[in-house]
């Protein structure tokens, strides 16, 4: 089967054929390491990992590079606020980023190039653009890409000129000397107190866009790479500018297939600081298991919007619990058997495997693949029961289990659930916060652990003072919002019903 891949450049699905089969060069835009990242970023990082895994499964030799921007205005600003160096901030959040990728179940990249390690290459590319007439220096020591020198500018984003101008940084004090509002910065003249490097134009540092062009071409060892990916918010101006400067410098096509990942909404609304609904990964992982979050990110097509809601997360949690339980019970059931991996010889399983593969080959349709996985879970459970009743041979359930294991591995869902579901719906949180006030306890905010700790402590105190009415009332309200208490010898724990 041929993988069909939606190409942002052409706005259509195309047969994926790399330049030099079976080798695939794959570049993905990584983070600017100045702080924690949100679940929208996490969705992009997980889905690009799924794409890479399927390419590997289909027999491609993938070289996967994901850059790290370790010099940027935001990094410098945070360093100033915290009274430390930009290097210290970048190192701290680079470690944070790599650790979170591991928690989310991503395979390690073949290389994570750092922008600060490629300054020389960026200067060389800028000089080449300058010599070819695609860039010009201004008296302050900055260098700008001359958009008018690249007639195809706009071919990736396909935006009208007025929309392109909306993306310009009108507040940038360096922009006063540039020739056109569309021209973008390749080299920024140094400001007092900022990190800088020596260049032919004076002390300064590279612009954001030139970093990716240089690192992609250098680390993937080609002017043209097979796949370049990133969030859909990067199409313009970042990736549009990458196309312009790269193709102007080399004279060759920069990318053969552009992949862009959809945004994450929160309860039907765009996630944004201005909306006050930002959800950062570490906060989410306090209440949602990593494997559930990974499954949730795959529950919509990678290039479609995905809505972060309690209901959607609950559905994904239930599906993962069913999947993990089926695998665990199968392992126990077959503990004295050797798993047979000849499930392809089984007609029922052949159809499920074909459905899984067809989904993944069709522009990485993970919802379709997850549907096949869910049906495989049903096969595992029904066959295990049939074998226990003497209706089928053990090899039948073993084959189904092998297929389930294969699918889970391909999608990066091979882990166990690590924690109970500790999230609370907005309705449950509001009800419990009101109840805290009702019984004279201080507001515990929206943290489910803080809310439950306060209620469990008050219940214990009430029981000790023989105020059983309050103790029973607490349990009753918790049952009302779907929470069960479990009293043990020296403690009380809680779980969602």
CA dist 79 to 32, 275, 369, Å? 14, 26, 44
Which of 117-131, 289-303, 446-460, 481-495 has the weakest average pLDDT?
Answer: 481-495
pLDDT band at 274 (very low <50, low <70, confident <90, very high): confident
Residue 389 has pLDDT above 90, yes or no: no
pTM of the full predicted structure? 0.85
CA gyration radius, the chain: 27
Output phi, psi for 417, to 5 deg.
-70, 130
Residues 104-111 have a mean pLDDT of 97
How does pLDDT run across 145-168, given as a tens digit for each residue? Answer: 999 999 999 999 998 777 776 545
Query: What is the rounded distance in angstroms from the CA atom of residue 428 to the CA atom of residue 497?
Result: 13
**Contact in structure between 188 and 207 (CB atoms under 8 Å):** yes
Asked whether residue 57 carries a pLDDT value surpassing 60, the answer given is yes
Point out the least confidently predicted range of 110-119, 359-368, 488-497: 488-497
- Provide the percentage of residues in the chain whose pLDDT is more than 70: 95
State the pLDDT at residue 388: 81
Q: Does 277 or 120 have the greater pLDDT score? A: 120
pLDDT at 276: 87
413-471 pLDDT per residue, tens: 998 887 667 778 778 888 999 999 999 999 888 788 889 889 999 998 998 899 988 98
- Averaged over 390-403, what is the pLDDT? 87
More confident residue, 345 or 304: 304
pLDDT band at residue 322 using 50, 70 and 90 as cut-offs: very high
- Cβ atoms of 186 and 132 closer than 8 Å: no
| Each residue's pLDDT tens digit, 121-136 | 999 999 999 999 999 9
Q: What is the pLDDT of residues 210-245, one digit of tens each?
A: 999 999 999 999 999 999 999 999 999 999 999 999
How high is the pLDDT of residue 340? 53
Nearest-angstrom CA–CA distance, 368 and 387? 29
Token look-up 């391909």 returns 410
Flag the least confident range among 59-73, 179-193, 340-354: 340-354
Predicted local confidence at residue 337, as pLDDT: 54
Alpha carbon distance 241, 350 (integer Å): 46
Task: Give the pLDDT confidence score for residue 167 in this predicted structure.
Answer: 47
Tokens of 48: 């690009």
Range with the lowest mean pLDDT among 86-90, 198-202, 384-388? 384-388
């Amino acid at each position: 089967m041929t993988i069909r891949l939606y190409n942002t450049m052409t706005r259509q699905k195309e047969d994926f054929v790399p330049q030099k089969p079976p080798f695939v060069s794959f570049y993905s835009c990584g983070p600017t390491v100045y702080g924690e990242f949100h679940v929208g970023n996490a969705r992009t990082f997980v889905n690009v990992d799924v794409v890479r895994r399927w390419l590997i499964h289909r027999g491609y030799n993938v070289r996967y590079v994901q850059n790290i921007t370790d010099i940027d205005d935001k990094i410098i600003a945070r360093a100033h606020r915290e009274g430390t160096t930009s290097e210290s901030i970048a190192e701290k959040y680079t470690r944070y980023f790599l650790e979170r990728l591991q928690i989310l179940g991503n395979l390690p990249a073949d290389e994570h190039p750092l922008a600060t390690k490629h300054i020389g290459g960026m200067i060389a590319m800028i000089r080449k653009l300058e010599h070819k007439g695609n860039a010009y220096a201004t008296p302050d020591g900055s260098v700008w890409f001359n958009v008018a020198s690249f007639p195809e500018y706009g071919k990736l984003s396909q935006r009208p000129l007025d929309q392109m101008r909306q993306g310009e940084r009108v507040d940038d004090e360096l922009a006063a000397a540039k020739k056109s509002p569309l021209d973008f910065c390749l080299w920024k003249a140094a400001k007092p107190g900022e990190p800088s490097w020596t260049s032919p134009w004076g002390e300064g540092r590279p612009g954001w866009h030139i970093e990716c062009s240089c690192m992609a071409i250098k680390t993937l060892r080609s002017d043209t790479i097979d796949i370049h990916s990133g969030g859909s918010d990067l199409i313009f101006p970042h990736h549009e500018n990458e196309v312009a400067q790269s193709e102007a410098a080399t004279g060759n096509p920069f990318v053969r297939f552009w992949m862009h990942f959809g945004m994450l909404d929160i309860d039907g609304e765009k996630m944004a600081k201005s909306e006050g609904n930002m959800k950062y990964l570490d906060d989410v992982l306090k209440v949602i298991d990593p494997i559930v979050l990974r499954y949730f990110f795959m529950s919509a097509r990678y290039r479609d919007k995905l809505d972060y809601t309690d209901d959607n997360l609950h559905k994904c949690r239930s599906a993962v619990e069913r999947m993990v339980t089926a695998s665990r019970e199968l392992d126990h059931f077959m503990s004295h058997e050797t798993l047979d991996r000849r499930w392809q010889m089984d007609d029922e399983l052949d159809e499920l495997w074909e459905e899984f593969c067809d989904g993944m080959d069709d522009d990485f349709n993970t919802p379709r693949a997850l549907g096949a996985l869910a049906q495989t879970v049903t096969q595992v459970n029904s066959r295990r029961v049939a074998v226990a009743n003497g209706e089928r041979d053990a090899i039948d359930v073993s084959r189904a289990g092998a297929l389930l294991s294969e699918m889970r591995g391909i999608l990066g869902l091979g882990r166990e659930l690590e924690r109970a579901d500790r999230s609370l719906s907005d309705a449950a949180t509001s009800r419990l916060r009101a109840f805290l006030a009702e019984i004279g306890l201080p507001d515990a905010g929206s943290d489910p652990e803080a809310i439950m700790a306060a209620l469990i402590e008050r219940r214990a105190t009430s029981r000790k003072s023989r105020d059983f009415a309050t103790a029973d009332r607490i349990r009753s309200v918790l049952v009302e919002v779907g929470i069960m208490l479990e009293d043990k010898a020296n403690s009380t724990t809680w779980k969602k019903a």
